[in-house]
Amino acid sequence: MAGVADLLDRAVDLPPGPALAAVLEQPAAAAVPNARRVDVLRARSRQLAHAQAELFAELVELSHTVALAELDTAEAVARAAEQQEWAAPEIAAALTWTTGAADRELALATALVERLPLVQAALRHGNIDRSKARVFVEYLDPALGDITEEQAQALCERYLPPAPGLTTKQLADRLHRAVQAIDPALRRRRYERAVQARGVALYLDPRTGTATLVGNGLPAHEAAAAAARLDRLVETAKRAGHPGTRPQISADLYLGMLDGSFHLLTEEQIIQRLLTGRRPDDQPATVREGGAVREGIEIRLGLATAAGLDDRPGEIAGLGPVGASVARAATAAQRRGAAWRFAVVDSRGHLLLAGPLRRRPRTSERPPAVRGGVVELHVTLRELRRHGAHPGSVPAEWEGVLAEIAAAWADRHARLERLAARPGTRFARGALADHIRIRDRNCIGPGCTRPARRSDLDHTRDHSRGGPTVDTNIGPACRRHHGDEDRGWTLTQPEPGLFQWISPLGRVYRTRGEPIRPDLRAEPRPHPRRRHRRSHRRARPAPAPLRAPDPRARHHRSAPAATTATPTARRRSAAVLNT
């Protein structure tokens, strides 16, 4: 036990660095008495802060590294005075970070290393942790324009000594009061900057599959007025007998006001709409009054999932994966107005052929139309052959859709040739653009997740240098990565959809879009009772809908309804699959 006590005494006294790391890694350090556990915890915290400071320093050092193209030999050591504009993409690729994360970490590191060296030193010595270092940057970084470098230096000297004994909230309060004492107009300027940067964020909770839609940087008085109106409508609905809780009602009001469901309705009509139906998740959509139209969404799912043959998750573009029942409901609600398309994929889930779909599953109900929106149905080549050879293996209402995809696959060679029919055009458009965006999904830059539909369709070999406008020379690139070739990066496309980047430091990074149909290891199997219900439904003269339309779907212009495939069409779909 004396050996353990000696180790702990050394850990308490040692500054963070290699010596402390060696002490903490010794086997005897595991046999720590309960009364000394806090000493080990603090020692490890100091060591972690030290490592974080070293990482920050390395990020900044890399940002000043001279590209290999500017050196006589790869072994040379040279540092640029200014940060290289390609540094953040290199960091993102090397550490498999998103470009946004690389930007944020490099900005924090630069602020500490180059503008607040006293804070960086305190972090490196383990006196403060990363969270407290960030608080100093948020309030004292001279680059924000709130205080001068001299004022930042003086405030660091004053507040770094007590910082180890303060929480981040206590530290932030003290720094805020100190900076505002220097410049009383500080709060107003920061408020104005935040309002200028206002926006709306949508993200998925991976645990529950539900979404969060929030606004940030909103003018306080306007946001308060919007919240007050919601509160007043919630109370009105409760007084009128709405059975939901106040949070549930406010959420339904929030969505209805944003997606167009309550467009042109008076407040009395909005309350009546809430009262006359159950919550949106519990009932089909109804015909909207007053011309209200819901917005469509882009939903992606397997054809087998849409037809109820399996329970693979679907995906809402730009949001993330959703359960099979949600995906089917969204698909059923977008039979009119949304654009439908198919994607035939290989065994790894990557694209073989894509195209538009004219047919829709035939149902006895005519759902309201949506405004915009996309339904993308995936089918593997194996599934296409299996179901095409046995058309009765899918519900009758989906046989027409299957026949259309089978016919497109039979014509695949001509369709793929048409994608390269105009190699001399400047921009990728039409079927070629759709093919690229479906194939690659996101920006092709290392670590980038910006959707392809919000990215430029970039030539791998530039059009001005003879690069053709064909699928083997095009990939989606966000505004950030589109210009990387002009910043010292080299880009090639060894095979369609596989991109190879060579950075200014000579590192090779390969990227490929996520599979359209991810490998789930174990294939979801249909529920026995669902198979029974499906076979029973097929015996009826008029098939029932796969799922009730989702009331959250958005409705506008109509699309022609498809008819159920005839026996001749079924035989034709089986024939073309066997060619």
> 152 and 13 share a domain?
yes
Which of the residue ranges 13-27, 132-146, 244-258 has the most confident prediction, judged by mean pLDDT? 132-146
Is residue 231 domain-shared with residue 343, that is, in the same domain? Answer: no
Supply the pLDDT for residue 130: 97
* Arithmetic mean of pLDDT over the chain: 83
Q: Is residue 507 situated within a structural domain?
A: yes
Question: Residues 309, 261: one domain?
Answer: no
Residue 281 is predicted with a pLDDT of: 54
Give the percent of the chain with pLDDT over 70: 86
Q: Which residues share a beta bridge with 371?
A: 295
Into how many domains does the chain fold? 4
Q: Is residue 526 predicted with pLDDT exceeding 60?
A: no
Using CA atoms, how far residue 506 sits from 83, 94, 447, 502, in Å, is 18, 12, 18, 6
- pLDDT band, residue 273 (cuts 50/70/90): confident
426 lies in some domain: no
Position 202 in a domain: no
Residue 259 and residue 336 in one domain: no
Within-domain flag for 462: yes
Q: How confident is the model at residue 537 (pLDDT cuts 50, 70, 90)?
A: very low
Examine the pLDDT at 523 and tell me if it is beyond 70: no
Same domain flag for 501 and 529: no
398 domain-assigned: yes
Same domain, 101 and 163: yes
Q: What is the pLDDT of residues 200-246, one digit of tens each?
A: 988 888 888 889 999 999 887 788 788 888 989 999 998 888 888 88
What's the rounded mean pLDDT across residues 403-414?
A: 94
**Whether residue 173 is found in the same domain as residue 116:** yes
Does residue 26 carry a pLDDT above 70?
Answer: yes
Kindly state whether residue 200 falls inside one of the protein's structural domains: no
User: Both 222 and 179 in a single domain?
Assistant: no
Q: Which has the minimum average pLDDT: 81-85, 290-294, 391-395, 426-430? A: 290-294
Instruction: Indicate whether 206 belongs to any domain.
Output: no
CB contact at 8 A, 127 and 102: no
**Domain shared by 187 and 224, yes or no:** no
* Those residues with Cβ within 8 angstroms of residue 475's Cβ, 6 or more apart along the chain or in another chain: 436, 440, 444, 457, 458, 460, 493, 497, 499
Residues 136, 70 share a domain: yes
Summarised one tens digit per residue, pLDDT across range 147-171 is: 899 999 999 999 999 999 999 999 9
Q: How far apart are CA 461 and CA 466, in angstroms?
A: 7
Please state the separation of Cα 35 from the chain's center in Å.
46
Domain end marker among 282, 309, 326: 282
- 299-319: per-residue pLDDT in tens? 999 999 999 999 888 998 877
Residue 572: per-residue pLDDT: 38
Q: Length of the chain, please?
A: 579
Say yes or no to pLDDT of 547 above 60: no
User: CA-to-CA distance for 360 and 340, rounded, in angstroms?
Assistant: 8
Using DSSP's 3-state secondary structure scheme, residue 25 falls into coil
Q: At which of 142, 159, 193 does a domain end? A: 193
* Same domain? 169 vs 57: yes
Do 188 and 215 lie in one domain? The reply is no
Last-in-domain residue among 479, 495, 512:
512
The most confident of 51-65, 244-258, 372-386, 524-538, by mean pLDDT = 51-65
Domain residues for the domain of 237 are 211-282
Residue 204 resides in a domain: no
Are 84 and 110 a contacting pair, CB within 8 Å? no
How would DSSP label each residue in 261-307? TTTT--HHHHHHHHHHS--GGGS---PPSTT--PBP-EEEEEHHHHT
Three-state secondary structure along 492-561?
EEEECCEEEEECCCCCEEEEECCCCCCCCCCCCCCCHHHHHHHHHHHCCCCCCCCCCCCCCCCCCCCCCC
